[in-house]
Chains A and B, each alone.
Chain A
Amino acid sequence: MITSPGPDLSQYWSTLAPDWPGGFWWHWLVFSVIIIAFVLLLVMGFVYIERRSMARMQVRLGPNRTGPFGLLQPVADAVKLLLKEDIVPNTADKLVHFLAPIVALTPVIMVFAVVPFGDGALLSDLNVGILYVVAVASVASVGIFMAGWGSNNKYSLLGAMRDVAAVVSYEIPLVLSIIGVVLMAGSLSLNQIVQAQGIPFILFQPLGFLIFFIAGCAEINRSPFDLMEADSELTAGFHTEYSGMKFALFYLAEYGEALALSSIIATIFLGGWRGPLLPPWLWFVLKVIIVFFVMVWTRTTFPRARIDQLMALAWKFLLPLALINILITAVEVLAWPEGLPWGLIFVNIAIMAVLVVLWSRKFKLGWGRVEV
């Protein structure tokens, strides 16, 4: 199924299209439906998981009235949001205000075009898959800035400006931490990255995983970096002025981003669809949910960082560590071109521990003012 694309365009199409009856378009249709269903269903699942597990951690019950165990709560939420009045502020930039939720949501769904749900089960096995993911995912922040600007609300604008600053800073450690994985897999295609993971890369790349997870959380506004919609400060940040279906789209985009991040982490660090006994797609979904659960966990536990501390973390902590991670991975890959021996797992974990401890000695988030 995996062939390297040549310069010839017809060969390129054949890379995308499997040998299904009907060829490319049939494949496209099936996977588009699968992706949209996957995103919508899992977002609903995420909302349910988040609310229930957060409630559990906060010594309360959470939604348990709608359907068995409150399972229908996301459906009820969706219906409620659909029926709400759609309010556009008088002074808003109407077109930008209207387009923003769409611009925020579309890239999130587009990310899934290259995420494999099973061996070769993906819409398009782009040979620059992971690069495509990074490029497309950051477009979502344009939607957020449009929302902040178009609403003509000061809280929204502050939230949106924080988001852009965070995305610009965190994109760099995010991409650099992926390079370690790419070096080990020898490919940018997500499917090939999964195929290369006899042992999940999280074990060989613990430092890369840590950086990717932190930077990813900061990019998609998950706590402790949820400065863009900091509810105790900016009421709701960029989506303060949104209601009804437009708000629902933002909500969907937000959890969609969390889903996208969990999927990418599951794919490039946790071995994607690989796993014994269970069918590949189930393994994939399980890993995605585990990653998401960790995000919920941090959200219930940590206070929120400040904007300058957020920037300092990206530039002074994550960026140098990401560069060191690339160096170490490159040396290891050069030394063992046939594949890394499993003993390196311990070496790498030890390196991560030493580096993190060293850096946290050197670098304080800053008690008081941080000069950035």
Chain B
Amino acid sequence: MVLKTEPFVLNIGPVHPSTHGVFRMRATLDGEVIVDLEPVFGYLHRGIEKLAEERTYTGVIPLTDRLDYLASMSNNLAYVLAVEKLADIAVPERAQYIRVILAELQRLASHLIAVGSFLNDCGAFFTPFLYMFREREKIIDLFEMLSGQRLLYNYMRVGGFNQDLPDEFLPALRILVKSMPGYVDEYDRLLAENEILLARAKGVGILPRDLAISIGASGPVLRASGVKWDIRKADPYSIYDRFEFDIPTGTVGDCYDRYRVRIEEMRQSLRILKPALEQIPGGPVKSPVPHYLHPPAGEAYARIEAPKGELGFYLVSDTSIAPYRCHIRAPSLINLTALRDMAIGWKIQDLIIIFGSIDITMGEVDR
């Protein structure tokens, strides 16, 4: 006897514990298996690109904080790099070092959340998540010393920084860099060889190398698919060419590879932090920049390797005090386009972890 069945449309989100913000997926299910998936986003649209056209070049920095709110420092960096390129401003040596240090710390903090919430999506009831929050807290404390803020730092300025590091920052950072490798190993040991995690994540949600390249994926999602592409090496910005580090890559491009790549990247970030701390020179932290910047007419695109992938700012200047156009290449949004291809044919439970393994922030997807 053949039973007649009909597809079952399940609305996952916009308010759902595992959509990491206000994201909605219209999943068409056959039993538990996903036959079609339609991502719906835009719930968090704030028009940041348009707002940027109405503000001075410095006034846009707080807006960039609100893109990927888990990695505000990286967003600041990408934006100020774009403005510096546009207005051709040199940055003092000390500021360059501080930027690298902050960007790598931010990568650590962001990856801690990414790995923690991925394991949480797998169903490990908050334990890895809270362990990782414990160390993220220390990084946040460091940022609080700098900016007085714990989430939206608004610390970087065009041409450097507004103020130098406080005296207690570097000693505290040294302690963190010393203890952090042990903690990263601890997270690694926590669940890396767990049979259930292997069963859940290995071979699940494979993003083939070709597809990853053709959709323009970047960051850990691309590297997990086996592409050795890291903007810090491919198109070095700031002073990344002075540091030695490896680009961890996966082989298959499944959820487990993305998880492993993030853990490895934390180790590599620490490898950059150590020499940066030793070599950091004295001197000014800001080159003289006029209060109201009037960059020459033209355009500039600066990109960095943000924790989630290639974050780019495209700015057009018409010599006024505000950008004529600001476009943001958000890695979360572009990585998210791979979701449908990865999820079809898998079960709802897999969809949740595939989505978690992409590691998106809705603030950046919707802008």
Contact = CB atoms under 8 A, between A and B. Distances in A.
A binds B: yes
Interface of A: 54, 57-60, 154-155, 158, 223-224, 226-227, 230-235, 299-309, 360, 364-369
B196 A304 contact: yes
Contact of A59 (B120, B131, B352): B131
Contacts of B199: 305-306, 309, 364-367
A9 B10 CA distance: 55
Given A59-B130, A367-B198, A367-B199, 20 more contacts: A59-B134, A154-B11, A158-B10, A223-B125, A230-B349, A232-B122, A233-B18, A233-B348, A233-B349, A299-B125, A302-B196, A303-B123, A304-B196, A306-B347, A307-B349, A308-B347, A309-B196, A360-B195, A365-B195, A365-B198
Contact of B123 (A60, A304, A366): A304
Interface in B114-129: 119-127
A220 B203 CA distance: 29
B142 interface: no
B17 to A, nearest CB: 6
A371 to B, nearest CB: 13
B123 A232 contact: yes
Contacts of B127: 57-58, 300-301
B292 interface: no
Interface of B: 8, 10-11, 16-18, 32, 119-127, 130-131, 134, 191, 194-200, 202-204, 347-350, 352
Contacts of B123: 223-224, 226, 230, 232-233, 302-305
B8 A232 contact: no
A306 B191 CA distance: 17
B18 A224 contact: no
B265 to A, nearest CB: 21
A80 B302 CA distance: 54
Q: Please name the 4 residue pairs, one residue from A and one from B, whose CB atoms are nearest each other, closest first.
A: A304-B123, A368-B203, A365-B199, A303-B122
B95 to A, nearest CB: 36
Given A231-B17, A307-B349, A367-B203, A60 B130 contact: yes
Given A232-B123, A303-B197, A365-B196, A158 B203 contact: no
Nearest to B10: A154
A303 B194 contact: yes
> Which one of A231, A232, A305, A369 has the highest number of Cβ atoms from chain B below 10 Å of its Cβ?
A232
Given A233-B352, A365-B195, A367-B203, A303 B130 contact: no
Given A154-B8, A306-B200, A366-B199, A301 B131 contact: no
A302 B194 contact: yes
> Which one of A299, A306, A360, A366 has the highest number of Cβ atoms from chain B below 10 Å of its Cβ?
A306
A254 to B, nearest CB: 14
Contacts of B121: 232
Contacts of A299: 125
B204 A303 contact: no
Nearest to B352: A233
Given A230-B349, A235-B17, A367-B203, A305 B120 contact: no
Contacts of B130: 58-60
Contacts of B120: 232
B124 A301 contact: yes
Contact of A303 (B16, B131, B196, B202): B196
A331 B357 CA distance: 50
Contacts of B202: 367-368
A305 B200 contact: yes
Nearest to A304: B123
Nearest to B129: A58
A368 B17 CA distance: 24
A303 B349 contact: no
> Which one of B121, B123, B134, B204 has the highest number of Cβ atoms from chain A below 10 Å of its Cβ?
B123
Nearest to A60: B130
Contacts of B203: 367-369
Contacts of B348: 158, 233-234
> Which one of A305, A368, A369 has the highest number of Cβ atoms from chain B below 10 Å of its Cβ?
A368
Contacts of B197: 303
23 contacts: A59-B130, A59-B134, A224-B196, A227-B349, A232-B122, A232-B123, A233-B18, A233-B123, A235-B16, A301-B124, A302-B124, A303-B197, A304-B196, A305-B200, A307-B347, A307-B349, A308-B347, A364-B199, A365-B196, A365-B198, A365-B199, A366-B199, A368-B202
